[in-house]
Structure 1
Amino acid sequence: MKKWVATIDLVTLKVEADPAFKFKCLENCGLCCERLEIPLRDEDIERIEELGYNAWEFVDYEKLFYRGDKFLGYAIKKNPVTDACVFLDPETKKCKIYNHRPLACRLYPFVFVKHGEKMEIYVKEDSFCPGINHPEGKPITKEFLMKEYGDIIEEYRRRVIHETQKTQVNASV
């Protein structure tokens, strides 16, 4: 189940958010790494391979992700002993590739959905995630979004501005 928590205007960066919602990712928790199937995009695979890993070490070619009939990617492998992501250190509960982790890991527990010039942000209300509405959590503000997801927002923002400019040029021809 997912719940709306914010909307960001990709042109003005104005944020409208649920003031009651807060989030704090708890260090060394690792529950999402243990309980979720993580999809890998081609870019994720390339970035991890650049660290010296072979795709066969971390890509589960038997688990496929689809949206409708569109193939999205494969899943990240699970450790056969712990059943957690192969990159989760079982002792420290830290990700071995944290700065290069897949986009799905980076976004979790959030889901970004673009609608024209707006990006809606939902939270996956997984009962096992202790960071959702944590008492020390932060509200979803422009500052929070830009600190955590600024590069992603800027990438979509560039596309929206490019599409708008293209439409204006075509309209004036």
Structure 2
Amino acid sequence: MATESKKTLVATVDLSTLKVEVVNSVKFKCIEDCGRCCYELEIPLRDEDIEAIEELGYNAWEFVDYEKMFYRGDKFLSYAIKKRPFDDGCVFLDPETKRCRIYQKRPLACRLYPFVFVKHGTKMEIYIKEDPFCPGINHPEGEPVDENFLLREYGELFEEYRRKLMEGE
């Protein structure tokens, strides 16, 4: 298991206006064929993630690790994605190419990494989890994590939270 990493606040998003305020400048570039996060992280699966992967033709028993569970306090949140016994990589990571076999339907936790989103009322705080194993964090060729980056990569997610906010959750 990876050592505890530092989290740095990168930006806040006002969910009612989708205005992004950058707090700390950070650069990020997902390095092709890296796959280190697929080995190092335990990935929680939401019900929506399981359904999306099942739509690809997989059965939940093939990819859900029913022995690894995530909790917040005493509230059960989810199960983890299975790891391969021979190298501890995610079951969907191709061991040859280091590419995800379900990239278009990968779980939300995979889509967000290395970012962590924390909602406080109408504000969403965006942190970067500075894991030492991730070579893409502050990579010299990395893209600035600014309003353009955040809205392009996570705009749909912000819109989803905004809708819930407007509906009164």
TM-score bin (small chain): over 0.9
Query: Which residue of 1 is the match for residue 82 of structure 2?
Result: 77
Asked which structure has the greater CA Rg, the reply is 1
Unaligned runs of 5+ in 1: 167-173
Using the TM superposition, give the Cα deviation of residue 19 of structure 1 relative to its aligned residue in structure 2, in angstroms: 4.7
Using the TM superposition, give the Cα deviation of residue 142 of structure 1 relative to its aligned residue in structure 2, in angstroms: 2.0
Q: Contact between 1:112 and 1:119, CA under 8 Å: does it hold in 2?
A: yes
Cα RMSD, aligned residues only = 1.3
Residue 90 (1) aligns with residue 95 (2): yes
Aligned with 1:55 (options 40, 55, 60): 60
Structure 1 Cα separation of the partners of residues 19 and 83 of structure 2: 39
Percent identity (aligned): 73
Query: Which residue of 1 is the match for residue 157 of structure 2?
Result: 152
More strand by share: 2
SS in 2 for 1:80: coil
Query: Which residue of 2 is the match for residue 112 of structure 1?
Result: 117
The two structures have a TM-score, normalised by structure 1, of 0.91
| More off after superposition, 7-16 vs 74-83 | 7-16
Structure 1 Cα separation of the partners of residues 113 and 149 of structure 2: 14
Query: Which residue of 2 is the match for residue 35 of structure 1?
Result: 40
Query: Which residue of 2 is the match for residue 4 of structure 1?
Result: 9
Using the TM superposition, give the Cα deviation of residue 161 of structure 1 relative to its aligned residue in structure 2, in angstroms: 2.2
Count of residues in Structure 1 that have an aligned counterpart in Structure 2: 164
Residue 67 (1) aligns with residue 72 (2): yes
Moved runs in structure 1, 4+ residues, more than 6 A? none
Using the TM superposition, give the Cα deviation of residue 65 of structure 1 relative to its aligned residue in structure 2, in angstroms: 0.4
The letter of the residue matching 2:32 is E
Deviation string for 1:10-41 (max 9, x for gaps)?
Answer: 12222111353111111111000011111111
Query: Which residue of 1 is the match for residue 23 of structure 2?
Result: 18
The two structures have a TM-score, normalised by structure 2, of 0.93
SS in 2 for 1:63: strand
More helix by share: 1
Unaligned runs of 5+ in 2: 1-5
The letter of the residue matching 2:104 is N
Q: Contact between 2:22 and 2:147, CA under 8 Å: does it hold in 1?
A: no
Structure 2 Cα separation of the partners of residues 53 and 26 of structure 1: 27
Structure 1 Cα separation of the partners of residues 17 and 145 of structure 2: 16
Using the TM superposition, give the Cα deviation of residue 146 of structure 1 relative to its aligned residue in structure 2, in angstroms: 1.6
